[in-house]
């Protein structure tokens, strides 16, 4: 069962206001102006190689020289990646600090390939079930010294290289023997592309955080919750990280790239009178603490979150429903990430264990012809919002590139790592992983880019038209989702699931009513084909995506979408009752503005 949880989280960036043109019902079918401002500022290079990069190069060169001369078989490719990460977490609830942690790790991944580009030790083996694929890599990530001590670093690289070289040697024997007795795979693409990784030396990332000031700020933000003791859980968190990735390959590439990240997160939980747990979260991602919104803005976000969860607590429970629906931009982003993005990851197209939903659909219509979809890690910000999925080079050292996936509704390409698939011989810089996993193609910044867009008001009118046409009592609008997951494995149903948290019924008179307890499921091809129209309110969804190569930061961008048909089910509900005793109240006068 490969049901990858996508714990993707929404950034609450305010959708840009549509152009303020007064429209009459007669104008419903008219296009609205499209606003998609793309920032591709390149990363600054020109730094000196860090000692860790030099140690990696020295040990890799020694290993390849010796193993090429004496190894039987000799490796044809090897690469090291070290991820140096420092992460600081600060959490608070109800005005009190929960704790802080400050963690620094350097994780090493070694890739060694024996055989040749055509057939090598990495070739997927049928005998190996999916669990075994995981198990053989589990625990193989090595933590290496966080100090710049060349002798200690090289000692760690030496042992890890030897272990991986021996793994590869054993794997190639198994690959060849399996090939001798088994039928040919459907897709006979090479195992490793002929590509040229780049060399780039940028400054290592440094964590710049005034911790006492942020302790105070996080504590103060959580004071807003004191006015609402009926919240069972209510937390404010700050997570700041500085990460430098070092890659060296036997093809000569050396990369050193740093990135900082900051996330503020608020999460609240309360319980409805019928016992249903109601949870909501709000996140803001940025490329550093300095780029986070100011305290007043954050405080307003906390208050808005509290108001929303309390409204949700009092809202009626949704009924099962099949009919037209609007997905607001962020929800639509998650929807595309699940229904489409995961299915166009290159390695899934040739792996026989995969469902291969889109493998043979290049050149065919997979969605309505007014929709383009592309993924571009080089986009750093969109409409002024920084994107989580931005990077200049992937974990194979390949320069990130824009991958055109769908043009006018027709499938054009896949997200590629250096694992080629039929008709796609080269990487487009989407080979990614978190430490401890094998690299596969992953999404970065997925953008749903319709050629024709209408204003949100027009989109709502279209929804109401559909409601009437289909004879439904109401339509639905999905305002927020907290994430979702999708299954791509052949052994299970090709389905996705998105977890909506804020959903409205939209009645024919235009009135909207909040409901709770909704689950959204479906199958990708069916769902995509029912898209009827798109808004011009592009929204950015920043999150993290978990799949076989680990957790990677991603972004999905979409305007709101009108779907002709969506199906919702009842969410599983807890059986607990609301708290027996009232919460102990917080004394008045201790809150600082949060009460109002």
Q: Phi and psi of 272, rounded to 5°?
A: -75, 165
The rounded distance, in Å, linking the Cα atoms of 149 and 586 is 52
Query: Are the C-beta atoms of 235 and 264 separated by less than 8 Å?
Result: no
**Of these, 103, 126, 360, 570, which contacts another protein (CB under 8 A)?**
103
What is the x/- site pattern for another protein, positions 24-43, by CB under 8 A? --------------------
Which range binds another protein by CB under 8 A, 247-255, 256-264, 543-551, 585-593? 585-593
The two structure tokens encoding residue 91? 């959490």
Q: Which residues contact 27 (CB under 8 A, 6 or more apart)?
A: 458
- In order, the DSSP letters of 495-514 are -EEEEEEEEEEE-TTS-EEE
Binding residue (CB under 8 A) for another protein from 307, 579, 592, 593: 579
159 binds another protein (CB under 8 A): yes
**Cα(282)–Cα(218) distance, integer angstroms:** 14
Tally helices (H) and strands (E) across the chain. 8, 26
Q: Considering only 98-106, 349-357, 523-531, 544-552, which stretch makes contact with another protein by CB under 8 A?
A: 98-106
Query: 286-308 b/e with 16+ CB inside 10 Å = b?
Result: bbbbeebeeeeebbebbbebbeb
| Binding test (CB under 8 A) with another protein, winner from 15, 52, 114, 156 | 156
Shortest distance (Å) from residue 143 CB to another protein = 5
Angle at 261 between CA 260 and CA 262, to 5 degrees: 140
98 interacts with another protein by CB under 8 A: yes
Q: By CB under 8 A, what part of segment 112-141 binds another protein?
A: 139
Inter-residue contact 82 to 144 (CB < 8 Å):
yes
| 274 is a contact residue toward another protein (CB under 8 A) | no
Q: How far is the CB of 297 from another protein (least distance, A)?
A: 24
Give yes or no for residue 469 binding another protein (CB under 8 A): no
Question: Is residue 584 involved in binding another protein (CB under 8 A)?
Answer: yes
Task: Determine which residue in the list 49, 71, 124, 508 makes contact with another protein, applying CB under 8 A.
Answer: 71
User: Any contact of residue 577 with another protein (CB under 8 A)?
Assistant: yes
User: Which parts of 149-210 fold into alpha helices (H)?
Assistant: 150-181
End-to-end CA distance of the chain: 48
Determine, following the binding rule CB under 8 A, whether residue 17 of this chain makes contact with another protein.
no
Contacting another protein (CB under 8 A), which of 509, 581, 588, 589?
Answer: 581
HSE value, Cβ hemisphere, 13 Å, CA-based, for 61: 9
Which of 219, 257, 299, 347 touches another protein (CB under 8 A)? 219
Between residues 313 and 330, which has the closer beta carbon with respect to another protein? 313
Dihedral sign for Cα atoms in the order 307, 310, 312, 316: negative
Contact residues: another protein, CB under 8 A: 59, 62-63, 66-67, 70-71, 92-106, 139, 143-147, 149, 151-159, 161-162, 165-166, 219, 226, 229, 232-233, 576-577, 579-581, 583-584, 586-587, 590
């Amino acid at each position: 069962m490969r049901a990858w949880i996508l714990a993707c989280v929404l950034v609450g960036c305010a959708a840009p206001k549509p152009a303020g043109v007064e429209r009459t019902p007669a104008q419903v079918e008219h296009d609205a102006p499209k606003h998609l401002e793309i920032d591709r500022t390149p990363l600054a290079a020109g730094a000196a190689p860090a000692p860790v990069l030099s140690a990696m190069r020295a040990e890799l060169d020694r290993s390849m020289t010796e193993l090429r001369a004496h190894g039987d078989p000799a490796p044809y490719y090897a690469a090291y990646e070290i991820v140096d990460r420092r992460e600081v977490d600060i959490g608070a609830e109800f005005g009190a600090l929960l704790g802080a942690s400050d963690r620094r790790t350097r994780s090493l991944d070694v890739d060694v390939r024996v055989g040749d580009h055509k057939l090598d030790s990495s070739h997927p083996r049928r005998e190996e079930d999916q669990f075994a694929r995981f198990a053989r890599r589990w625990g193989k990530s090595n933590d290496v010294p966080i100090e710049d001590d060349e002798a200690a670093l090289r000692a760690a690289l030496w042992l890890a290289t030897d272990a991986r070289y021996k793994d590869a040697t054993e794997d190639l024997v198994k690959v060849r023997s399996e090939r001798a007795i088994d039928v040919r795979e459907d897709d006979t693409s090479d195992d490793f592309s002929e590509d040229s990784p780049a060399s780039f030396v940028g400054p290592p990332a440094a964590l710049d955080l005034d911790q006492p000031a942020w302790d105070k700020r996080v504590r103060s933000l959580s004071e807003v919750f004191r006015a609402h003791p009926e919240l069972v859980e209510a937390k404010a968190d700050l997570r700041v990280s500085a990460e430098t990735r070092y890659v060296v390959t036997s093809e000569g590439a050396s990369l050193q790239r740093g990135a900082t990240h900051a996330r503020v997160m608020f999460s609240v939980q309360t319980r409805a009178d019928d016992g249903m747990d109601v949870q909501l979260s709000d996140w803001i991602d940025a490329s550093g603490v300095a780029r986070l919104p100011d305290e007043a803005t954050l405080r307003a976000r906390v208050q808005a979150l509290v108001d929303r969860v309390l409204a949700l607590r009092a809202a009626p429970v949704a009924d099962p429903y099949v009919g037209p629906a609007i997905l607001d931009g962020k929800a639509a982003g998650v929807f595309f990430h699940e229904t489409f993005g995961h299915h166009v990851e290159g390695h899934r197209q040739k792996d026989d264990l995969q469902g291969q939903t889109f493998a043979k659909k290049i050149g065919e219509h997979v969605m309505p012809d007014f929709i383009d979809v592309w993924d571009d890690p080089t986009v750093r910000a969109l409409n002024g919002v920084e994107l989580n999925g931005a990077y200049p080079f992937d974990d194979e050292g390949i320069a990130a590139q824009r991958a055109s996936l769908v043009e006018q509704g027709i499938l054009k390409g896949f997200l590629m790592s250096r694992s080629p698939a039929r008709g796609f011989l080269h990487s487009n810089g989407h080979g990614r992983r978190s430490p401890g996993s094998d690299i596969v193609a992953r999404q970065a910044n997925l953008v749903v880019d319709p050629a024709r867009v209408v204003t949100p008001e027009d989109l709502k009118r279209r929804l109401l038209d559909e409601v009437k046409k289909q004879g439904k009592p109401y339509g639905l609008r999905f305002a927020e989702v907290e994430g979702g997951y999708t299954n791509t494995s052949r052994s299970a149903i090709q389905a996705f699931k998105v977890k909506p948290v804020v959903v409205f019924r939209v009645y024919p008179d235009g009135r909207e009513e909040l409901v709770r307890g909704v689950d959204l499921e479906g199958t990708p091809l069916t769902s995509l084909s029912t898209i009827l129209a798109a808004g011009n309110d592009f929204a950015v969804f920043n999150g993290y995506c978990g799949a076989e190569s680990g957790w990677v930061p991603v972004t999905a961008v979409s305007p709101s979408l009108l779907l002709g048909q969506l199906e919702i089910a009842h969410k599983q509900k807890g059986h607990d009752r609301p708290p027996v005793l009232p919460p102990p109240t917080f004394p008045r006068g201790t809150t600082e503005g949060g009460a109002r």
